[in-house]
Structure 1
Amino acid sequence: MLRFSAPVYVPLISFYSLLSYIAMVWVTWSAAQAIAETIIGSGRLNTRSIDGQLVRLTLRLIAVFVALGIIIEGASRLGLPAYSVLTGLGIGGVAVALAARESLANVMGAFIVMIEKPFRVGHWIRVGDIEGTVEDIGFRSMRLRTFYDSLVTVPSSTILESTVDNMGERRYRQVKTTLALTYDTPPARLSQFIEAVRGLIETHPASLKGTYHVVLHDFGESSLDVLLSFFLDVPDRSSELQQREDILMRILECADRLGVSFAFPTRLIRFAQEDKPDDLAAARTG
Structure 2
Amino acid sequence: MVRVAILHVASAWALWLLCVVAVEATVGGSGLSGRGIDASLLRLVARIVGVVGGIVILAHGAQMLGLPVYSIVAGLGIGGLAVALAVRPTLENLISGFILYLDRPIRVGDFCTFGDQSGTVESIGVRSTQIRALDRTRISIPNSQFADMQIINWAHCDQMMVRHVIGLRYETESDQLRYVLAKIREMLHGHPRIDDETIRVRLVEFADSSLNIEIRVYARTREWNDYYAIREDLLLRIKEIVETSGTGFAFPSQTLYLGRDEGLDAGLGEKSRRAVAEWRRKGRLPFPQFHPEMAKQLSDRLDYPPRGSPDYQLGADEMTEQKEERLSSPAEEDAGEKDQPR
2:22 aligned with 1:35: yes
Question: Taking structure 2 as the reference length, what is the TM-score of the superposition?
Answer: 0.67
Which amino acid in the other structure matches residue 33 of structure 1?
V
Task: Give the 5 Å matches for 1:10-159.
Answer: 13-14=1-2, 16-84=3-71, 86-87=73-74, 93-159=80-146
SS in 1 for 2:201: strand
**How far off its partner does 1:136 sit?**
1.7
The aligned counterpart of 2:299 is none
**Cα distance change, pair 93–205 in 1 and its aligned pair in 2 (3 A):** farther
How far did 1:226 drift?
A: 0.4
Task: Report if aligned partners of 1:126, 1:164 keep a CA contact under 8 Å in 2.
Answer: yes
Let me know the Cα RMSD of the aligned residues. Answer: 2.5
Q: Once the two structures are superposed, what CA deviation does each residue of 1:93-142 show, in whole Å capped at 9, x if it has no partner?
A: 43321112212211211122122211111222232333322122111111
Counterpart CA distance in 2 for 1:241 and 1:261 is 24
Separation in structure 2 between the aligned mates of residue 98 and residue 267 of structure 1, nearest angstrom: 66
State the alpha-carbon separation in 1 of the partners of residues 64 and 70 from structure 2.
13
Opposite residue 123 of structure 1, the aligned amino acid is D
Choose which of 236, 256, 271 in structure 2 pairs with 1:249. 236
Residue ranges of structure 1 left out of the alignment (5+ in a row):
1-12, 271-286
Q: State the alpha-carbon separation in 2 of the partners of residues 112 and 69 from structure 1.
A: 29
- Counterparts of 1:124 and 1:269, CA distance in 2: 51
Q: 218-227 or 185-194, which moves further after superposition?
A: 185-194
- Displacement of 1:174 after TM fit? 1.6
Distance in 2 between residues matched to 1:239 and 1:101, nearest whole Å: 45
Partner of 1:273: none
1:178 to 162, 165, 168: 165
Tell me what 1:7 maps to: none
Structure 1 stretches (4+) deviating beyond 6 angstroms? none
The residue identity in structure 2 corresponding to 1:255 is V
Tell me the secondary structure at the aligned position of residue 22 of structure 1: helix
Q: 2:150 aligns with which of 157, 163, 172?
A: 163
1:43-76 deviation line (CA, Å, top 9, x unaligned): 2222112222222222222223322322222222
Q: 1:239 to 1:41 in 2, by over 3 A?
A: farther
Superposition deviation, residue 249 in structure 1: 2.6
SS of corresponding position for 2:241: helix
With over 3 angstroms needed to count, the CA separation of the structure-2 counterparts of 1:101 and 1:249, relative to structure 1, is: same
Aligned equivalents of 1:213, 1:75: Cα separation in 2: 76
Alignment equivalent of 2:245, drawn from 258, 261, 264: 258
Q: Is the 8 A contact 1:189 1:258 kept in 2?
A: yes
Give the Cα separation in 1 of the matches to 2:190 and 2:256.
44
Contact 2:105–2:153 (8 Å) recurs in 1: yes
User: Where does structure 2 lack aligned partners over 5 or more consecutive residues?
Assistant: 258-342
In structure 2, the CA distance between the partners of 1:194 and 1:99, relative to structure 1 (3 Å rule), is same
2:202 to 200, 208, 215: 215
Q: 2: distance between equivalents of 1:27 and 1:264?
A: 77
Give the direction of change, closer, same or farther, for the CA distance of 1:258–1:66 in structure 2 (3 Å limit): same
Residue 267 of structure 1: how far off its partner (Å): 4.4
Corresponding letter in the other structure for 1:119:
I
CA contact (8 A) 1:175 1:232 kept: yes
Query: How far, CA to CA, are the matches of 1:92 and 1:64 in structure 2?
Result: 19
Higher normalized contact order (CA 8 Å, seq sep 6+, divided by chain length): 1
* 1:220 Cα deviation from its structure 2 partner: 1.5
Please state how far the C-alpha of 1:92 moved relative to its aligned partner.
5.3
